[in-house]
Amino acid sequence: MNRSLLLSWRFLLRDWRSGELWLLMLSLLMAVSVSTSIAIFSERLQISLGRQVAEVMGADLVISSPRRLSEEVNQFIDSQPVETATVLEFPSVVMAKDEMQLVSAKAVTSNYPLRGHMRTADQPFEADEVAQDTPGKGEVWLEPRLFPLLGVEVGDTLILGEAEFKVARAITLETDRGSGFYSLSPRLMFSMDDLDETGIIQPGSRVYWKTLIAGEGDELTGFRSRVEPLLTDSEKLSLAEENREDLRSSVVLLKQFLGLGSIAAMLLAGIAVAMSSRRFAERRFDGIAVMRCMGAQQNQVMQVFIGELLWIAVLVSVPGVIIGWLLQAGAVKLLAGVLPAWLPEAGPMPMVVGGLTGIITLVGFGLAPLLRLREVTPLRVLRRELTPAAAGVWSVYGLSFISMLALLWYHTGQLLMTVGVILGVAAVILLITLAIKAGLARVQRRLSEQPVPMPWRLGLKRLVQEQGQTSAQLIAFTLTFMAMALVLLVRTDLLDRWQQQLPENTPNYFAVNIQPAEVKPFQNFLQSNGIDGTSLYPMVRGRLVEINGQPAKEAVSEEQRSHNSLNRELNMTWSDQPAPESEMVEGEWWQPGDTGEISIEMSIVEHLGINLGDELTFMIAGTEVNAEVTSIREVQWESFQPNFYMILPEASLKNSPATWLNSFYLPQQDRLVLNELVRQFPTISLLDMDAVISQVQVMLEQSILAVEAMLLALLLAGLLVLASAIEASLDTRLREGALIRSLGGSRKQLMIMQVGEFFIMGAFSGVIAVLGTELCSWWLNTQVFELSWQPAIWLWVTLPVASALLIGLSGWLGIRRVIRQSPGVVLKQQ
């Protein structure tokens, strides 16, 4: 074996000096560098976006409970390499001068928040800035709407429990508040050090403890798995991405798209390696025949050339990983103004896997063409037209698909997407194989029956006679255009989804707890101040008590009993029209005047196992309300529009006590009008969503940037595939061109024949690529990305034309050597 490796090294040096390996090594270098750069950039961006989601929650993990954590849990947390902060929330009454007001009091430790930041202002509803600290000893920070409700200003004093506090600032952004629209009471924040002095917290008090936890990815994964068994049923652990439904969708879609881009890029790199390996093998038929005449055995021959490929893989992998790292570092540097300010370094695994990608890609795509070398016989020395038969379809493509499936599954972490794309590729290859057998046979019959201009006739005959090479080139061309078109289509759908998610003037304020008698005056106030508000939505609070006649917690599994919907009152609404911000998944909407029906949001259905036709019983203000599930909806929580888990007919809830909800958009310069709004409607709770919306907008801009960068990488990969496919047939074209020229053919005729052949293959591959793209696009949109799908009619026209022009132009650039080469020189070399 050592002798074979040494001989392989000598062959490698010889082929390198002769220029035989540049295309294969360039293809392999692209496979390693592209996969490495995408893997590193994806990991860094995903960690950063996850951190941004965590900034909106104030931590990476949150453990919430109605009481302090047990000593066992606290000891475990203290022993872990994580940072913690403690928050206590509770309802209370605050007094200032002659005014009293119910507030949501919040005590925080000095290191709150662990992720993100708070923003405060010197005066309510004025310009704010990032807070570098938390409330000091004897200080309170108030939500802006509390100032007019209590009639206080900055510097005044108020009483909370048994302690007196000085009003220091106005809170404009609170990181861990905003995950729901229904925290009604205005906020008052003070230091945890002052908690005992207030004397408020007594045994049996209604309080809400939160332990905020921050750490790095690997640390958090291990921490979460070990701390969860220690928690009781009343203690809930939440992950940032799981807790923010309005942000999670964008992050998940971006991860899925980066996974798709990785599949497409690596597929293109693999095709380039396969085409280069095919040429590498064919140019060694004569040398192997001589080796066989000198007594070399089949296994010895294979060991030498497989060893040469392994040397190539090892030598290319290291610089490929370095180039991949430099590519992503350069992209981060150039895009520093639009990427997240905090972009963490990736771990070593993407670089390790990037290096292994070279070896796996070369084995998966490059080994199959080398199988033909085993079939080279000594007789080829005398009969050079004796070409070894191609290996069977399964031996050629089976190893490629298995290796790439495993590799892509690792890169994307999404088996469903990977299998869908691989099956689509397999369908395209099968379609091309069948089409070539049927189509070329038909072309051959037509050529014998109808006159065709000589240059075109020669080109078409070559396609018929070289079916193996034609099939390989068509597969390469088709998969190249299919990969780029598929990513482009999904990219367009994603951009449309993201742009619709946050249209201009997205509501940035929610007015909650509007009393029935205040609905009309509130609408008049908005109208008189030129504020465009949405329709008002009634809100009714009720608890789910029975499912199909059984107590709710007995009707579900033990795991489902801890779901939030069974442990608190739910916010419901009534409407006789389908919700505009949701999509009907199953069932039908009721008619006005109907009763006893309910529409449920999809996530509740999945968590509780509820189906159409189930009977649900709610306890609303001491009265039982029964309803049959007649429809299931999927809500776009990221739309920042009022959304509800439960919707019933108006006739079912019109007699139930209700408050109303409204959302509206208010520009920054008009915020002072909120002072008057709070004075006129002191019982209304006003929620500022500007900070959350700004966070989502930044994330969407960065997601769009990542999508565009992926398209550029795929374009470069596609161009290399085209070069590999054209270069793979160059030797045959040189011989044919020399013969045609020596028999009197002109350069013009030769050019028409060669370029016409590429135009025909381009148009044909474009048509097949459209079919494969539509198939994969339907699968990905409906099964993976959960987007709407419709046929891309424009693609059926543009892609065949574009592919014909691009491959025709690429073919012309690639075969100029065939046209210019002297026939005598070529024939002497043969």
685-697 per-position pLDDT tens digit: 777 676 666 666 6
686 backbone dihedrals φ, ψ, rounded to 5°? -110, 120
Whether residues 75 and 43 fall in one domain: no
Nearest to 269 by CA among 430, 480, 527: 480
731 backbone dihedrals φ, ψ, rounded to 5°? -60, -45
pLDDT digits (tens, 9 = 90+) for 157-177: 999 988 999 999 998 878 776
Mean model confidence pLDDT for the chain: 76
Q: For residue 813, give the 3-state DSSP assignment.
A: helix
Across the range 698-705, mean pLDDT stands at 64
Between residues 467 and 202, the one the model is more confident about: 202
- The residue among 245, 263, 280 that closes a domain is 245
Cα 87 from Cα 111, distance rounded (Å): 10
Q: How confident is the model at residue 552 (pLDDT cuts 50, 70, 90)?
A: confident
475: domain range? Answer: 414-499+689-700+707-830
* Residue 518 counted as domain residue: no
Q: How confident is the model at residue 615 (pLDDT cuts 50, 70, 90)?
A: very high
Which residues make Cβ contacts (< 8 Å) with residue 384, sequence separation at least 6? 286
Residue 542 pairs in a beta bridge with: 570
pLDDT at residue 708 greater than cutoff 60: yes
pLDDT at residue 469 greater than cutoff 50: yes
What is the DSSP-derived secondary structure letter of residue 533? B
Length of the chain: 830
Whether residues 620 and 716 fall in one domain: no
Whether residues 138 and 239 fall in one domain: yes
- The residue among 183, 217, 245 that closes a domain is 245
In single-letter form, the type of residue at position 770 comes to V
Whether residues 174 and 261 fall in one domain: no
Whether residues 79 and 207 fall in one domain: yes
* Residue 87 counted as domain residue: yes
Tokens at 274, concatenated: 């396969």
* Residue 749 counted as domain residue: yes
Whether residues 292 and 334 fall in one domain: yes
Cα 258 from Cα 423, distance rounded (Å): 19
Q: Where are the alpha helices (DSSP H) in 228-297?
A: 240-243, 245-282, 285-293
* Residue 724 counted as domain residue: yes
Nearest to 703 by CA among 292, 261, 295: 261
Mean pLDDT comparison of 28-32, 788-792, 803-807, highest-scoring range: 803-807
Between residues 816 and 608, the one the model is more confident about: 608
- The residue among 324, 359, 391 that closes a domain is 391
Amino acid 79: pLDDT: 87
How many distinct helices (H) and strands (E) make up the chain?
27, 22
Which residues make Cβ contacts (< 8 Å) with residue 484, sequence separation at least 6? 264, 711, 714, 715, 718
Amino acid 140: pLDDT: 94
pLDDT digits (tens, 9 = 90+) for 275-316: 777 777 777 777 777 777 877 777 777 777 778 878 888 888
Residue 213 pairs in a beta bridge with: 61, 84
Q: How confident is the model at residue 273 (pLDDT cuts 50, 70, 90)?
A: confident
**Residue 93 Cα to chain centre, angstroms:** 46
Please count the structural domains in the chain: 4
pLDDT at residue 182 greater than cutoff 50: no
Region label for 593, one of left (φ > 0), alpha (ψ between -120 and 50) or beta (otherwise): left
CB 35 within 8 A of CB 357: yes
Check: pTM over 0.85? Answer yes or no. no
Across the range 642-661, mean pLDDT stands at 84
Across the range 659-663, mean pLDDT stands at 85
**Residue 499 Cα to chain centre, angstroms:** 16
CB 116 within 8 A of CB 56: yes
Q: How confident is the model at residue 180 (pLDDT cuts 50, 70, 90)?
A: very low
pLDDT digits (tens, 9 = 90+) for 747-773: 676 676 777 777 877 888 888 888 888
CA atoms within 13 A on the CB side of 354: 33
Beta strand 187-191 with 615-620 is unpaired
Amino acid 382: pLDDT: 58
Amino acid 193: pLDDT: 92
Whether residues 47 and 74 fall in one domain: no
* Residue 646 counted as domain residue: yes
Whether residues 71 and 216 fall in one domain: yes
Across the range 796-819, mean pLDDT stands at 78
pLDDT at residue 465 greater than cutoff 70: no
* Residue 671 counted as domain residue: no
CB 589 within 8 A of CB 648: no
Which residues make Cβ contacts (< 8 Å) with residue 550, sequence separation at least 6? none
pLDDT at residue 360 greater than cutoff 70: yes
Whether residues 222 and 284 fall in one domain: no
Percent of the chain with pLDDT over 70: 69
Percent of the chain with pLDDT over 90: 6
Amino acid 485: pLDDT: 83
Whether residues 363 and 450 fall in one domain: no
Segment among 2-6, 128-132, 192-196, 317-321 with least mean pLDDT: 2-6
Percent helix, percent strand, percent coil in the chain, to nearest 5 = 60, 15, 25
* Residue 147 counted as domain residue: yes
Amino acid 386: pLDDT: 52
CB 614 within 8 A of CB 629: yes
Whether residues 83 and 224 fall in one domain: yes
Q: Which run of H or E residues covers position 666?
A: none
* Residue 158 counted as domain residue: yes
Whether residues 634 and 767 fall in one domain: no
Which residues make Cβ contacts (< 8 Å) with residue 783, sequence separation at least 6? 416, 420
